[in-house]
């Protein structure tokens, strides 16, 4: 359903543009973790003496990425990272219960979008924007191997983050199980789906599950889906990127719910 999405990294003097969500240096990162601010990821240089930061990140459930110091040099807007950089969220994440509450408040069957490993911030931002404009009640993203709510995501969402909650799942498989236990049907999007798009029953409580840009749905996520939906293709190119696929499914859900 999705294909590779070319990533572009604006640079300034050889370093990425500072988008306000990178924290550098031992004290800044350590105090941010201790204050329980939302942190998506901590990058530590190989061989650096930052065991206390790694331990604090583990306690907070924040993924730690060990990497070559040259990667941090490239990431760092200031060049003074002391072997540690944290990627913090541009906005607070919502609890799963808040997403259900949004549906209840509007007297509607829940409609969620689940992103299974979306790594490009422009794709995630576009999905969030489409979800909000379609009236979805929330977006769910995994904690690991996926982009979080960076400033680039917020920009691509074009204001939608002010109106729709994004839940960060510590364990996506368990979250999918919880959705099913609460009566939500899971509709995965793949080119080889067994359920035609225009026959999918999106008027029931449902979550639209969108796979990563390059690999699509993971095996475990696909197994947990109740239906695998395919979008009919009439041209020679047989796939859409993740954000376009999400928009097509979302507005088919809108059409079904208007009946």
pLDDT digits (tens, 9 = 90+) for 220-253: 999 999 999 999 888 877 778 899 999 999 999 9
Assess whether 111 and 166 both reside in one domain: yes
Do residues 165 and 191 both lie within one domain?
A: yes
pLDDT on residue 9: 40
Which residue range is the domain that position 34 belongs to? 22-88
Q: Do both 44 and 131 map to the same domain?
A: no
Tell me the β-bridge partners of 229: 189, 195
Average pLDDT, the chain: 88
In a domain, 12, yes or no: no
Model confidence at 17: pLDDT above 60: no
| pLDDT(24) > 70 | yes
pLDDT digits (tens, 9 = 90+) for 129-176: 999 999 999 999 998 889 988 888 988 998 899 899 999 999 999 999
Instruction: Single out the residue in 70, 88, 106 at which a domain terminates.
Output: 88
> In the prediction, which pLDDT does 188 show?
96
What mean pLDDT is predicted for residues 114-143? 96
Same domain assignment for residues 203 and 161: yes
| Residue 78 and residue 198 in one domain | no
Both 118 and 55 in a single domain? no
The answer to whether residues 233 and 183 belong to one domain is yes
Q: What is d(CA 75, CA 183) in angstroms, rounded to the nearest whole number?
A: 43
Is residue 14, in this structure, part of any structural domain at all?
Answer: no
Domain CATH number, residue 41: 3.30.1330.30
Residue 259 pLDDT grade (very low, low, confident, very high; cuts 50, 70, 90) = low
């Amino acid at each position: 359903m999705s294909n590779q999405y070319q990533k572009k990294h604006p640079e300034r003097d050889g370093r990425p543009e500072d988008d306000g969500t990178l924290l550098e240096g031992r004290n800044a990162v350590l105090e941010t973790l201790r204050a329980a601010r939302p942190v998506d990821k901590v990058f530590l240089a190989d061989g650096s003496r930052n065991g206390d930061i790694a331990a604090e990140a583990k306690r907070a459930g924040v993924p730690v990425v060990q990497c070559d110091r040259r990667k941090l040099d490239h990431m760092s807007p200031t060049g003074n990272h002391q072997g540690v950089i944290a990627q913090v969220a541009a906005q607070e994440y919502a609890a799963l219960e808040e997403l259900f509450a949004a549906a209840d408040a509007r007297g509607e069957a829940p409609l969620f979008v689940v992103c299974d490993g979306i790594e490009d911030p422009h794709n995630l931002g576009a999905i969030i924007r489409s979800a909000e404009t379609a009236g979805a009640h929330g977006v769910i993203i995994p904690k690991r191997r996926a982009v979080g709510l960076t400033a680039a995501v917020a920009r691509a969402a074009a204001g939608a983050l002010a109106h729709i909650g994004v839940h960060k799942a510590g364990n996506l498989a368990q979250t999918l199980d919880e959705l099913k236990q609460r009566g939500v049907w899971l509709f995965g999007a793949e080119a080889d789906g067994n359920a035609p798009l225009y026959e999918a029953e999106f008027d029931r409580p449902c979550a639209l599950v969108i796979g990563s840009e390059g690999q699509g749905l993971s095996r475990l996520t696909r197994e947990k889906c109740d239906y695998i939906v395919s979008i009919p293709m009439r041209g020679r190119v047989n796939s859409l990127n993740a954000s376009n696929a999400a928009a097509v499914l979302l507005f088919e859900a809108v059409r079904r719910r208007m009946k």
